Structure 1
Amino acid sequence: MTTTALLIRKRRFLPLFATQLLGAFNDNLYKNAMILYVVYTVYHSEAAEARFSAIASAVFILPFFLLSALSGQLADMRDKARIIRIVKAAEIGIMLVGATGLFMAWRGMAVEVVAIPLMLAALLAMGVHSTFFGPIKYAILPQHLHADEVLAGTGLVEAGTYISILAGTIFAGWIPVEWAAMICIGTAMVGFCTAQFVPPAPPQMEPQPLDFNVLRSSITLVRMTTRHPRVYLAIAAISFFWTIGAVLFIQFPPLAKNVLSASKEVASLFLVVFSIGVAIGSVSINHLLKGTVSARYGPISVIVMGLFVVAFHFVCKMWQHAVGSALLDVPQFVMQPLAVPLLLSLLGIAISGGMFVVPLYAFLTTVVDKAETARTIAANNIVNAGAMVVGSLIAVGLSAAGVALADQLLLGAAMCLVAAWLARVLYRAERAHAGEIEHTFE
């Protein structure tokens, strides 16, 4: 039986895995239900739709930028399982607020004055929720898993995340918004229950005073963590990946509607295909590396990803649909001559992207001392958040400058070259320092 199959059956992994699945599902069900409803029902201009999609992404990302340093300190200096339970209890209250906003929007009650601000407030709070849960889901793995299980566990967490994104995206695109509101509340409650079974994960160091100055602690955390070349290069490469991902995810709903003349169900289908692809890539890279944590395949993976982005761009440019015609539903969309090349290009982007990023997350949790893994992941989240905000701002700026949505895809392809160079330099550093453990905070 494979390591992956064995892990799924272990209590030291399964409750965490289930809790992560439910949290990622809820994040994406809520976020996509909100964005798709607003883009397809409230606004009726390409610029307004792209702007709202970017604002929603920025609102969700902002807490990662501001609070990751505090979340990393907590996760390294307190019991990780206890923090998980507190965070999942808060999710229930957050979803009650978000569901109220969705319900009001569905009923047409003060949509722009009350409903949308309520929905964005809940999205911001879910960003806070994910900020405090994020470092734990990776940092707890070296504590509960054996050394030869960490890559498989990281791959499962990443694959599970995207399977949940897949499920949440399908539900968001296909069920009525009022049902989405109720499911969000129910999922939060189930997630709170599964969190009760996560085994204790006490700190691997003596507790120290927490630094609540978010600016100072964030700067200190990033500076201390990135002084080691291997950690710095891994964080930089992951950040470029998520900048590319942010640009793509921001563009999917308005691109589907305005370039491909497709319905919100087709926009949902894009995210589904993307999620399936990342899940496939996440599991495949573990088999290629045979459980060894390494950036060996990073350069080629992200170059292939860039080539698929270029292919996706050209298919979008060649897409033809009569102006003024009704939006294509899923059956009509898949019957279009270029639908299969479009979806295959998107699948290729996702598979190669998953193969690129999963070993880098595992790398971050295995080259540092176990007492420092959460803070290392938190520093990574800060830099990633900053990179994604920059990506969101670039996407908004390009839209405001009148750059066509399809042409904006080429920005992501260009960034893949930088990510490939970073991954190559990282692999050289990995080989030069094989087996060494970094002690960042001593």
Structure 2
Amino acid sequence: MTTTTHLLRQRRFLPLFVTQLLGAFNDNLFKNAMVLFAVYSLYNSESQEAAFSGIASALFVIPFVTLSALSGQLADTRDKAGIIRVVKACEVGIMVVGGAGLFLAWKNWAVESLAIPLMLTALFAMGIHSTFFGPIKYAILPQHLKPDEVLAGTGLVEAGTYIAILAGTILAGWIPVEWAAVGVILTALIGYVAGRQVPPAPPLGTETKVSFPVLDWFHARAGSKLAYGLGWLPMAIADQFVSAYRLIRNTTDDRRVALAIGAISFFWAVGTILFIQFPPLAKNVLHASKEVASLFLVIFSIGIAVGSMSINALLKGTVSARFSPPTVVVMGLFVVAFWFVCSHWQDHQGEGLMQLGAFVSHPQAVWLLLALFGIAVAGGMFVVPLYAFLTTFVPPSQTARTIAANNIVNSGAMVLGAVLSLVLGKFGIPLVDQLLVSAGMSVVSAALGYWLYRAERTALG
């Protein structure tokens, strides 16, 4: 019996695996169902559709910027299984709100005044849910698994997350929105039941106090009455920004770590802009159905996975940034190719939006999909060695903090990418031409990757 098969039979692993798989599936089913329905059924303006897609992406990512430091502290100072139960119980309530928003939008009841606010509120809350669950799914593995099982367990978690993202993305593009409204609630309920089966995972350290720098400062100097009189919530939010800043500052003292995080962050900013553009671009430029927009997201995800595996074979297991500059330049060139095909797209002869079968048989579709696949493969080849560098370059005692700092900066870059997409739309830049902005940003990532490789070579003498 293989280690993988053995783990999938164990209560110390299977409930966690199922819980995280369902969470990733639900995130993508809800978000993509909401965005695709808004783009294809609620709005008839390219700028409105792009704006909604950008706002949705930003709302989901903002909690990662503001709450990652707190989520890391809680994961280290509280029972991780207990946090999972609380988080998954909250997911049920969140999806009831989100499902209600989808249902109201489907019925065309109070769309602007109630349905959209409910959907966006649920999406923001799911971002908070993912922020607090994220650190736990990796930190809990060494407590429940034997040392020779951790690598297999981590691989299963990664594979499960990838499969869940693909499944949620595909399903969102194919099922009616009212089915999605029911599906997200049922998935949350099953996830809650699975989460309750995770065995206890008490904190390993002796520290149990969660640090709130701003509140602690006010307590020490002005007393608790003044601190709470000024408002606990604003101070708690300020605490998270202070904690995030300290974490990033302490982690990026080494120039190579700072360059790696910067290069990864620019990559995800480019990826965010592309993901925001896919649904409205498919509808307004290619005149294709939501199934085609879903296909774009699936191909992008598969391409990233192919690139990730390809670069590992190319580097032969050696962690190095030497291929990062050329691969991200290639990614930018594929973005230009994607723009070129979109700019010269020939409308189909039938009425209405092109369905998936008609799109696949379109004479330019193969070139468009090849360009999109090339973007994703080159992107995966660029970013994977940088992640590997972060986890192997720093001492083991600092790995978790380094990844947390990277996640915060990445999330901030994704928010900025979403804001940039909104600003470009406000200035009237056509959606298809915004692709060239993504290509230009790839040059910045290439420069950061090149400087990292130079620093790597210098360190090796």
TM-score of the two chains, using structure 2 as the length reference: 0.84
Trace 1:117-196 onto structure 2 (pairs within 5 A). 117-138=117-138, 157-158=157-158, 160-196=160-196
User: Could you list the per-position Cα deviations for residues 320-342 of structure 1 after superposition, in whole angstroms to 9, with x for gaps in the alignment?
Assistant: 11699411010111111110111
Q: Give 1:418's aligned residue.
A: 444
Highest RCO, 1 vs 2 (Cα 8 Å, sep ≥ 6): 1
Would you say the 8 A contact 1:76–1:203 is kept in 2?
yes
Code of the aligned partner of 2:434: Q
Shift in alpha-carbon separation, 1:266–1:374, aligned structure 2, 3 A: same
Would you say the 8 A contact 2:79–2:200 is kept in 1?
yes
Q: Does 1:36 align with 2:62?
A: no
Code of the aligned partner of 1:210: S
Q: Does 1:342 align with 2:343?
A: no
Question: How far does residue 403 in structure 1 lie from its aligned partner after superposition?
Answer: 1.4
Q: Which moved more, 1:413-422 or 1:242-251?
A: 413-422
Would you say the 8 A contact 2:325–2:450 is kept in 1?
yes
Question: How far does residue 350 in structure 1 lie from its aligned partner after superposition?
Answer: 1.5
Trace 1:296-335 onto structure 2 (pairs within 5 A). 296-321=322-347, 325-335=351-361
Q: Give 1:109's aligned residue.
A: 109
Question: How far does residue 138 in structure 1 lie from its aligned partner after superposition?
Answer: 4.9
Structure-2 separation of matches of 1:274 and 1:15: 29
Q: Which moved more, 1:220-229 or 1:173-182?
A: 220-229
Question: How far does residue 247 in structure 1 lie from its aligned partner after superposition?
Answer: 0.2
Would you say the 8 A contact 1:270–1:346 is kept in 2?
yes
Shift in alpha-carbon separation, 1:358–1:139, aligned structure 2, 3 A: farther
Question: How far does residue 17 in structure 1 lie from its aligned partner after superposition?
Answer: 4.3
Question: How far does residue 298 in structure 1 lie from its aligned partner after superposition?
Answer: 2.7
Code of the aligned partner of 1:61: V
Would you say the 8 A contact 2:321–2:452 is kept in 1?
yes
Would you say the 8 A contact 2:286–2:347 is kept in 1?
yes
Q: Give 1:439's aligned residue.
A: none
Structure-1 separation of matches of 2:122 and 2:154: 28
Would you say the 8 A contact 2:348–2:354 is kept in 1?
no
Aligned with 1:44: secondary structure? coil
Shift in alpha-carbon separation, 1:373–1:391, aligned structure 2, 3 A: same
Code of the aligned partner of 2:169: T
User: Could you list the per-position Cα deviations for residues 53-79 of structure 1 after superposition, in whole angstroms to 9, with x for gaps in the alignment?
Assistant: 111111111111211121122233444
Which of the pair has more CA radius of gyration?
2
Would you say the 8 A contact 2:95–2:188 is kept in 1?
yes
Question: How far does residue 49 in structure 1 lie from its aligned partner after superposition?
Answer: 0.9
Q: Which moved more, 1:395-404 or 1:134-143?
A: 134-143
Shift in alpha-carbon separation, 1:59–1:158, aligned structure 2, 3 A: same
Shift in alpha-carbon separation, 1:75–1:125, aligned structure 2, 3 A: same
Would you say the 8 A contact 1:315–1:341 is kept in 2?
yes
Q: Give 1:210's aligned residue.
A: 211
Question: How far does residue 10 in structure 1 lie from its aligned partner after superposition?
Answer: 7.8
Q: Which moved more, 1:197-206 or 1:331-340?
A: 197-206
CA RMSD of aligned residues (A): 3.1
Structure-2 separation of matches of 1:273 and 1:314: 19
Aligned with 1:261: secondary structure? coil
Structure-1 separation of matches of 2:15 and 2:73: 23
Shift in alpha-carbon separation, 1:188–1:217, aligned structure 2, 3 A: same
Q: Give 1:378's aligned residue.
A: 404
Gaps of 5+ in 1: 435-442
Question: How far does residue 120 in structure 1 lie from its aligned partner after superposition?
Answer: 0.6
TM-score of the two chains, using structure 1 as the length reference: 0.87
Question: How far does residue 428 in structure 1 lie from its aligned partner after superposition?
Answer: 4.6
Question: How far does residue 273 in structure 1 lie from its aligned partner after superposition?
Answer: 1.1
Structure-2 separation of matches of 1:81 and 1:293: 34
Shift in alpha-carbon separation, 1:188–1:283, aligned structure 2, 3 A: farther
Code of the aligned partner of 2:368: L
Structure-2 separation of matches of 1:148 and 1:231: 29
Q: Give 1:281's aligned residue.
A: 307
Alignment length, in residue pairs? 433
Structure-2 separation of matches of 1:119 and 1:15: 28
Gaps of 5+ in 2: 213-235
Structure-2 separation of matches of 1:412 and 1:297: 20
Question: How far does residue 230 in structure 1 lie from its aligned partner after superposition?
Answer: 3.2
Q: Give 1:64's aligned residue.
A: 64
Percent identity (aligned): 65
Structure-2 separation of matches of 1:369 and 1:78: 24
Structure-2 separation of matches of 1:389 and 1:354: 21
Would you say the 8 A contact 1:280–1:351 is kept in 2?
yes
